[in-house]
Copies of this chain bind each other. A is one copy, B any other.
Amino acid sequence: MISPATRSFAPPAVPIPVSAAVPVDPERSARRGAAVGDVVLDAGSFWGRRQQVNGEATLAHCLEWMERLGWLENFDRVARGEFTHERAGWQFSDSEIYKLLEAMSWELGRRRETPEEDAQLTATFEALVERVAAAQDDDGYLGTAFGHPGLPDRYSDLAMGHELYNMGHLLQAAVARVRTHGHDTLVAVARLAADHICDEFGEGRREGICGHPEIEVALAEFGRALGEDRYIDQARLFVERRGHGTLPVRPLLSAEYFQDDVPVREAEALRGHAVRALYLSAGAADIAVHDDDDELLDALRRQWDRTIERRTYVTGGMGSRHQDEGFGDDWELPADRAYCETCAGVGSVMFSWRMYLATGDIRYVDLIERTLFNVVATSPREDGRAFFYANPLHQREAGSEPTAGVNTRAEGGSRAPWFEVSCCPTNVARTLASLPAYVAAVEGDTVVLLQYAAGRISLGGFVLDIQSSYPDDGIVRITVVGAPDDEAGVRLRIPAWAADAIVSDPGSPSRAVQAGWADIRRQFTQGDEIVLDLRIRPRFTYSDRRVDAVRGTVAVERGPLVLCLESTDLDEGVPLEAVFVDTSVEPVASGDGATVGAMIADVDGPITGTLPYGTFRPSPSIAAVRDVALVPYHRWAERGPSSMRVFIPTADGLDTMADADTR
């Protein structure tokens, strides 16, 4: 619809350094993350393998589905001006194409030495962009669910229409593209869309916000990427407009759901729809840093603190409720119906990453690690062609094999190829494709190792070779291949769970290091070797007594991994609920998981039709005592549908209690 001429715009005021391939680049921050090309992960490493599957399978998988369901054709139909009410997909389906474009951009940016595949992916990417561009209106508006014949008017449903949300993802894709490749059609299309949004929603114009935050964080980064303050100003406006109840009331949905109940700078905790809350917080963090706005940053820190302490799962998962996909109240952290949407995991990484860049606080990076290993890595199946939408910590009934068609959103206990609301697959894809950016950072003359993975890091004048089978064990061997000429620093993250880590470096004897940052500072020379041993072994994890849902249970963690008990590993006929862990015996590492001592109770029997409540303390009789195997949570249900639990009841007092008597 838009003429090609319109899309060739003036170059940005500040030239883009193409090498600056980072998802987040707050120019006023004391630290800066690695560019996606700065970190090359070994193909055999935990994350390297996942990146490879993502590039080889997931990207194509997402494209196939969106083509099959007509989500892409929506753009063609708008371009041809032929539209009817029977549009395919939800009103936010455009965003999935944009998230895929973002993933493709990062993937192209991080790849090395695969020119043939690159050419193919580039061609696919460009063809997609052409179809998107063709649907753009002359004034920059881009959307296939509103504003064309047969569709509702533009911005006629700000609460649920997702128009700005969609265009936000377009801008994020353009950020990835401009930083990995430079200016092209996608960037031009995004710029026109951003200008349109500023014209439409700027100061003194339409006083609206979008029911689903995303445009905030997108405009902020797009503004930074193009050096255009106008976009950042518009992002600020959207952030500040929230919390004043300007969105129209919707039946059965609260202002909290839409993040329109309390202004960001006044809120005490993340609440309402988890993904909405986290995307908004990420955008607000961008604005706080850009504006040196300590009040806003403090508000975000306060909300993060409360949310971590009282509304976050041991996996890093966020969102306790299926209803409204929302955060729960403080301490409302049920294991069995934990929603922990995969996208909330992605949103949490986005928020915490910005907070780390702003403050240098290690807690943000610890949470990112926890979330990456136990939420983001849990979602995709090993082959990258099926996904979890929700990530509960307890599945009582084994899921069934997913249907061949589109699956419902979040039920089931089985990874599904695609969903009616299919936000998670592309969110995983863009996160995995940009993952190198979160592995290391530079602060002054110091390179900071944030996540441990075998590979090579070229950053801050250093070239570091990392050898490690992390997280299978905790030994990380860092060889200096290249170093700055002057004295410089290498900073290591010692995670909070590492109780007795040891570091050795050529300049000094091995020493114990506390959880926190461990700094090594000197003149480095080629061949120097730093060895960090995080001494990973399985450990019992108990919950705060205020987390009612898991009282009397224990979880087992091993390094950054949360483990789980899966029915697959139990003897035939032993149900999950028969297992009680003996905490007097320490868990033992086994494979990539652990074994624990357990009592197997005799809990089954005929159904009696009596309520599960009685006047005597129930105590099942013990049928067996044996070890049971636990596996990493991220790979549950990889061996077929299973029941599963992270928090396992302890055997405390089992033998001394009277027999069950329920009425």
Contacts and interface: CB of A to CB of B under 8 A. Distances in A.
Interface residues of A, number: 78
Interface centre among A397, A545, A619 (most CB of B within 10 A): A545
A552 interface: yes
Contact of A321 (B322, B328, B396, B552): B322
A393 to B, nearest CB: 11
Interface stretch (A113-121, A145-153, A303-311): A303-311
A271 to B, nearest CB: 11
A252 B408 CA distance: 6
Interface in A290-306: 301-302, 304-306
A330 interface: yes
B322 A332 contact: no
A9 interface: no
A508 interface: no
B314 A603 contact: no
A470 to B, nearest CB: 20
B543 A330 contact: no
A305 B546 contact: no
A615 B620 CA distance: 27
Contact of A608 (B309, B314, B547, B610): B309
B612 A252 contact: no
A516 interface: no
Interface string A543-565: 11111111111010000000000
* Secondary structure call for the A interface: loop
Nearest to A421: B252
A541 interface: yes
Contact of A544 (B323, B609, B660): B660
Contacts of A617: 542
A43 interface: no
A649 interface: yes
Contact of A612 (B496, B544, B618): B544
A623 interface: no
Interface stretch (A191-199, A334-342, A423-431): A334-342
B613 A543 contact: yes
Contacts of A301: 609
A484 B35 CA distance: 94
A162 interface: no
A89 B305 CA distance: 42
The 3 A-B residue pairs whose C-beta atoms are closest, nearest first, are A305-B609, A544-B612, A322-B323
Given A314-B611, A543-B618, 20 more contacts: A252-B420, A254-B411, A308-B611, A312-B611, A321-B323, A322-B323, A331-B396, A337-B337, A363-B610, A540-B615, A541-B614, A541-B615, A542-B613, A542-B616, A542-B617, A543-B613, A545-B603, A552-B552, A652-B653, A653-B653
Interface of A: 251-252, 254, 301-302, 304-306, 308-310, 312, 314, 321-323, 328-337, 363, 394, 396-397, 408-409, 411, 420-421, 496-497, 499, 539-553, 555, 577, 601, 603, 607-620, 647, 649, 652-653, 660, 662-663
